Amino acid sequence: MSTEKESKLNNLLSSQPLGIVLSSAWLAKQGYSLDLQKRYKKSQWFDSIGTGALIRHGDQVDYLGGIYALQSQLGLFVHPAGKTALSLQGKAHYLELATKKVQLFGGKQDSLPLWFKKRDWGLSVESKLTSFLPPALGLVEIDHKSFKVKISSPARAVMECLYLAPKYQPLLEVYELMEGLNNLRPTTVQQLLEACTSVKVKRLFLYMADKAGHEWLSYINLDKVDLGSGKRAVVSDGVYVSKYQITVPKALDSVNGEVTA
């Protein structure tokens, strides 16, 4: 290998953190042609993990290393969301000893590359691409290994849980998560509520925050939040809560709280 190519390789190895996926398309834009990438693989500096993606030879890369590539190299808004985001921030009601399933959300225009979808990350990965919230709003950065990834802030994460409820996420479990969020930033909650397009999510979020007795709720200006009109039945056989015009499960309504039907 020529000195120039060795220098390019050394620069790549020194500039990129361990534990991440490297997108072939991104590498090409950085001046590492597909031909050069093939030489790196042949020389066993890098391994292919699917069409369009490489990792360092022998590197241990988890799904967050894949998320890093989606966010930092491909410009996608795909991120750990819902219960997964809360767990990563130590705010899940009960922390699983070993994560078996992760929930991702992304923008409506995002599309997961095949290498990410087909890769065996050692756990089940579920993704939801939706525009019920602006894709970049309410995200926070966390450190993982030697790099950073963006995940949902606690307020956004609960809204994502509510978006999946009740079909894919038990409402009682979401309420248990909400109970622990007594220090949310009112400004963040306000922005999310104003931007959210799901009336179901907004009404349930406010109902649960009210029921949990969170002080930050008193700082929210509901005049700026579109809560829609008319009654909404989240479940068919439940209890109607007139304050928020929603029907919730009986088991949730019977939990001690401040909202009365």
Q: Domain of 5: which CATH number?
A: 1.10.10
- Evaluate if residue 86 carries a pLDDT over 70: yes
* Angle, CA 125 vertex, CA 119 and CA 128 arms, to 5°: 120
pLDDT digits (tens, 9 = 90+) for 125-158: 999 999 999 999 999 999 999 999 999 999 999 9
What is the extent of the structural domain holding 54? Answer: 1-61
227-to-211, 258, 261 alpha-carbon distances in Å: 18, 20, 18
Count of domains forming the chain: 1
Does residue 10 sit within a domain?
Answer: yes
The beta-strand segments (E) located in the chain are 22-23, 46-48, 53-56, 79-80, 101-106, 124-129, 139-144, 147-152, 232-233, 239-241, 246-248
Q: Within a domain: residue 172?
A: no
Evaluate whether residue 256 is within a structural domain. no
Among 103, 114, 41, smallest CA distance to 74 is for 114
Task: Write the pLDDT tens digit of every residue in 43-68.
Answer: 999 999 999 999 999 999 999 999 99
In a domain, 161, yes or no: no
| Helix, strand, or coil (residue 95) | coil
Contact (Cβ atoms closer than 8 angstroms) between residue 146 and residue 18: yes
Cα 104 vs. chain centroid, distance in angstroms? 5
In a domain, 105, yes or no: no
